[in-house]
Chain A
């Protein structure tokens, strides 16, 4: 049985934040869950997916976050407790249905999780999704720890049901990817059989209906504000004239700082876990007892600005500070020492930081940037396109996935990346705006996510570029989740359909479609050259399973290669394709690590000396 399905209330277990969140949803009786994978949220869905195979929980990987939210909206309006999860930028994709779903509301509890990523450990921006709650009139809850996240999601479902509103649950990477002991609670029975009761004056958002719904959503938020003012998730810890207002993981940095600075009798902390709408009365009461107030929050000054506005309404003129030149930054994540230092400065208490070691005499340590894996087919495809387009002035828009790393030297393929699906649509723009040749790249999962709409646009508007769809049979970047092109039989799972990308692309109206097997180097280059010569939209589908995925499913026999004596050391292999299985041995000659080589043989095909050969075992 899946460890998170165990009916063992009181059992203490160490869980990753994302596992704790999945468990919390199960304890809450969640019956329906949807997502598009995105780090730092990926393991929540991984666990729900596994649990759905062993129970009557419904789970799906949807094609993108907008679809996931729309699917979920229907379930939550059919009386099922519904969970929809995504990373912070995913909520941008889902923003369209989100804003209107807030008007329509739900008939059963619905929690939408946004996993924000301060410091951008695996993201393209650092947006603070608390503004979505405010923007969309949605109640928001924010846990400070792994254990609290598990319990909070249960209360978020209750809150959603009482208000008939979806509730946003905001985590940050340091919740999602922390481990802690969690105590199992009871699992509430799941209601998996829903029924949709027609209610067009709530559910059909024509203008006449929506005008009324906007009034209603503001009323709901008034109720939410009353609940926020009395919520146990908003509480004061400690006492004294020095005030700290904080949220999320910053709460614990602040609590440790108060203790470490010897301020336990002089400082009190207001922790806000029900953070939209803010508990205005509670904040006003807190401010009245303070001489000065420090706001400790990562990201944007979301609470700070509101707290200052509340102080103005109350005629309170104490110093309230958070983000300013001499205190906290709007950049990146906080850490305990930073919070201690800023708090000491603001409250005028002495503090000497523990001196780090002197690093001035440390030699330069070579960087260890992420790299396409050994035997990754994307490397071969990038190399082949580069060869085929050798003498061309070419722009290469790229997309979000492992292959984004193609921008790194020596491949250096990837000139423009903004969001999922953008490679295709930006190619439309580049091809019209310039005379340069445009060759863009997108993964299979990302193509289904939002690349296909750009391709339809390109066909209709008669744009001129070549799109390479990197079909590696899985969503690789986030840890091997399925997408609509995946053969689910490989996982031993039945009951799924499968969408064929080639047929789909032809059906959209692309006239020049070709397939390459990227480990056949010269043949692929020839096919790519033909596609590049075509005037109009051409699509190349590069088919080869993700190397890690193929290895884990034993789809291929691994046959490592080696560098023979014929090598004359001109190092084309290292300098042009740079597979991480290459290394320089003690004689400073190129060698191949047989433990990591998967035997794709791309290097063997580009070596002018034919010096790379299969290793005889």
Chain B
């Protein structure tokens, strides 16, 4: 089986770990071997959360620089920061709604221009799908569903090879019943937005 390596980067609290668990569950449903590794630790205090997922026939669970087949970014500057994990065949999917780090508020840094971020990623990788996942999440009914909007966009690109009904079933299994409708709508909005890009 082909090996597909997916990196997910996000800011603590954006739901990266739930998103990767949904994809893991989808892999289980699809009969695809998967290994996952996550870095959090101090992320609860505003840092970056990263998950690595290796689908298919490989034994290791982390992804080296240059070796990601797909990069899924929940925050545009974090997507750009993770660009070293990509190569020229990598498919990138990113949220365009910034979550500025506090260093910017205290004047210790400047947030890069989102249009420039998009152009840079576009020029260096095989393709970029950039959507305002925050607006779509609000439209779905909760700003907390940014993660699932982005999963919708990821599945639409086909880069992962999962059918949307498998991922929707995984969402049903992993998301609390009270939030299920919002998340299924978020998934659909993300899927459609990526198709329109």
Q: Flag if B87 contacts A354 (CB, 8 Å).
A: yes
Which stretch, A153-161, A333-341, A452-460, A515-523, touches the partner chain B? A333-341
Query: Which residue, of B104, B105, B111, has the highest number of chain A Cβ atoms within 10 A?
Result: B105
Q: Mark A1-44, 1 if CB is under 8 A from B, else 0.
A: 00000000000101000000000000000000000000110000
Q: Mark A229-259, 1 if CB is under 8 A from B, else 0.
A: 0000000000000000000010111011000
CB-contact partner of A179 in B24, B78, B80, B124, under 8 A: B24
Query: Which residue, of A335, A361, A477, has the highest number of chain B Cβ atoms within 10 A?
Result: A335
CB-contact partner of A364 in B40, B63, B109, under 8 A: B109
Q: Flag if B46 contacts A371 (CB, 8 Å).
A: yes
CB-contact partner of A575 in B62, B106, B124, under 8 A: B106
Minimum Cβ distance to chain B for residue A64 (Å) = 21
**Which residues of B lie under 8 Å from residue A366 when comparing CB positions?**
77, 100-101, 103-104, 108-111
Q: Does A582 lie at the interface of the complex (its beta carbon under 8 Å from any beta carbon of B)?
A: yes
Q: Flag if B112 contacts A363 (CB, 8 Å).
A: yes
Query: Given A356-B84, A357-B84, A368-B47, are A121 and B60 also a contact pair (CB < 8 Å)?
Result: no
Q: Flag if B86 contacts A174 (CB, 8 Å).
A: no
CA A177 to CA B51, docked complex, whole Å? 10
Q: Flag if A355 contacts B108 (CB, 8 Å).
A: no
Q: Does B66 lie at the interface of the complex (its beta carbon under 8 Å from any beta carbon of A)?
A: yes
Q: Flag if A370 contacts B43 (CB, 8 Å).
A: yes
A 574-605 contacts with B by CB, 8 A:
574-575, 578, 580, 582-584, 595
Q: Does A348 lie at the interface of the complex (its beta carbon under 8 Å from any beta carbon of B)?
A: no
**Which residues of B lie under 8 Å from residue A121 when comparing CB positions?**
39, 41-42
Q: Does B95 lie at the interface of the complex (its beta carbon under 8 Å from any beta carbon of A)?
A: no
**Which residues of B lie under 8 Å from residue A94 when comparing CB positions?**
none
CA A611 to CA B45, docked complex, whole Å? 27
Residue of B nearest to A367 (CB): B103
Q: Count residues on chain B whose CB falls below 8 Å from chain A CBs.
A: 59
Minimum Cβ distance to chain B for residue A260 (Å) = 9
Minimum Cβ distance to chain A for residue B71 (Å) = 10
Q: Does B159 lie at the interface of the complex (its beta carbon under 8 Å from any beta carbon of A)?
A: no
Q: Does B48 lie at the interface of the complex (its beta carbon under 8 Å from any beta carbon of A)?
A: yes
CB-contact partner of B86 in A181, A357, A365, under 8 A: A357
Q: Does A358 lie at the interface of the complex (its beta carbon under 8 Å from any beta carbon of B)?
A: yes
Q: Does A324 lie at the interface of the complex (its beta carbon under 8 Å from any beta carbon of B)?
A: no
Q: Flag if B125 contacts A174 (CB, 8 Å).
A: no
B 77-119 contacts with A by CB, 8 A:
77-78, 80-81, 83-88, 90, 100-106, 108-112, 116
Q: Flag if B67 contacts A178 (CB, 8 Å).
A: no
Q: Does B146 lie at the interface of the complex (its beta carbon under 8 Å from any beta carbon of A)?
A: no
Q: For chain A, what secondary structure do more than half of its interface residues adopt (helix, strand, loop), or is it mixed?
A: loop
Query: Given A256-B58, A365-B77, are A370 and B47 also a contact pair (CB < 8 Å)?
Result: yes
Q: Flag if B120 contacts A373 (CB, 8 Å).
A: no
**Which residues of A lie under 8 Å from residue B120 when comparing CB positions?**
361-362
Which stretch, B30-38, B148-156, B161-169, B182-190, touches the partner chain A? B30-38
Q: Flag if A574 contacts B28 (CB, 8 Å).
A: no
Residue of B nearest to A180 (CB): B35
Q: Does B20 lie at the interface of the complex (its beta carbon under 8 Å from any beta carbon of A)?
A: yes
Query: Which residue, of B60, B65, B110, has the highest number of chain A Cβ atoms within 10 A?
Result: B60
Minimum Cβ distance to chain B for residue A248 (Å) = 12
CB-contact partner of A372 in B34, B40, B45, B65, under 8 A: B45
CA A251 to CA B60, docked complex, whole Å? 9
Query: Given A14-B28, A354-B67, A366-B101, are A402 and B45 also a contact pair (CB < 8 Å)?
Result: yes
Q: Flag if B41 contacts A122 (CB, 8 Å).
A: yes
Q: Count residues on chain A whose CB falls below 8 Å from chain B CBs.
A: 57
Q: Flag if A410 contacts B106 (CB, 8 Å).
A: yes
Q: Flag if A336 contacts B87 (CB, 8 Å).
A: no
Q: Flag if A373 contacts B45 (CB, 8 Å).
A: yes
Q: Flag if A255 contacts B46 (CB, 8 Å).
A: no
Q: Does A353 lie at the interface of the complex (its beta carbon under 8 Å from any beta carbon of B)?
A: yes
Minimum Cβ distance to chain B for residue A376 (Å) = 9
CA A177 to CA B11, docked complex, whole Å? 17
**Which residues of B lie under 8 Å from residue A358 when comparing CB positions?**
124
Q: Flag if A371 contacts B45 (CB, 8 Å).
A: yes
CB-contact partner of B36 in A179, A354, A595, under 8 A: A179
Q: Flag if B116 contacts A363 (CB, 8 Å).
A: yes
Q: Mark A168-180, 1 if CB is under 8 A from B, else 0.
A: 0000001001111
CB-contact partner of B87 in A179, A355, A373, A582, under 8 A: A355
Q: Mark B179-197, 1 if CB is under 8 A from A, else 0.
A: 0000000000000000000
CA A580 to CA B46, docked complex, whole Å? 9
Query: Which residue, of A145, A338, A368, A370, has the highest number of chain B Cβ atoms within 10 A?
Result: A368
CA A418 to CA B37, docked complex, whole Å? 29
CB-contact partner of A368 in B58, B64, B103, under 8 A: B103
Q: Flag if A40 contacts B106 (CB, 8 Å).
A: no
Minimum Cβ distance to chain A for residue B16 (Å) = 12
Not counting A358-B124, A363-B116, A369-B103, a sample of 13 additional A-B residue pairs whose C-beta atoms are within 8 angstroms of each other reads A14-B24, A145-B61, A174-B37, A354-B87, A356-B87, A368-B47, A370-B46, A405-B45, A477-B42, A479-B44, A574-B106, A580-B105, A582-B105
Offer 5 A-B interface pairs, CB within 8 angstroms, sorted by A: A336-B67, A357-B66, A362-B120, A368-B46, A371-B46
Q: Spell out A's residues near B (CB within 8 Å).
A: 12, 14, 39-40, 121-122, 145, 174, 177-181, 249, 251-253, 255-256, 335-338, 353-359, 361-373, 402, 405, 410, 477, 479, 548, 574-575, 578, 580, 582-584, 595
Q: Spell out B's residues near A (CB within 8 Å).
A: 11, 20-21, 24-25, 28, 34-48, 58-67, 77-78, 80-81, 83-88, 90, 100-106, 108-112, 116, 120, 124-125, 143
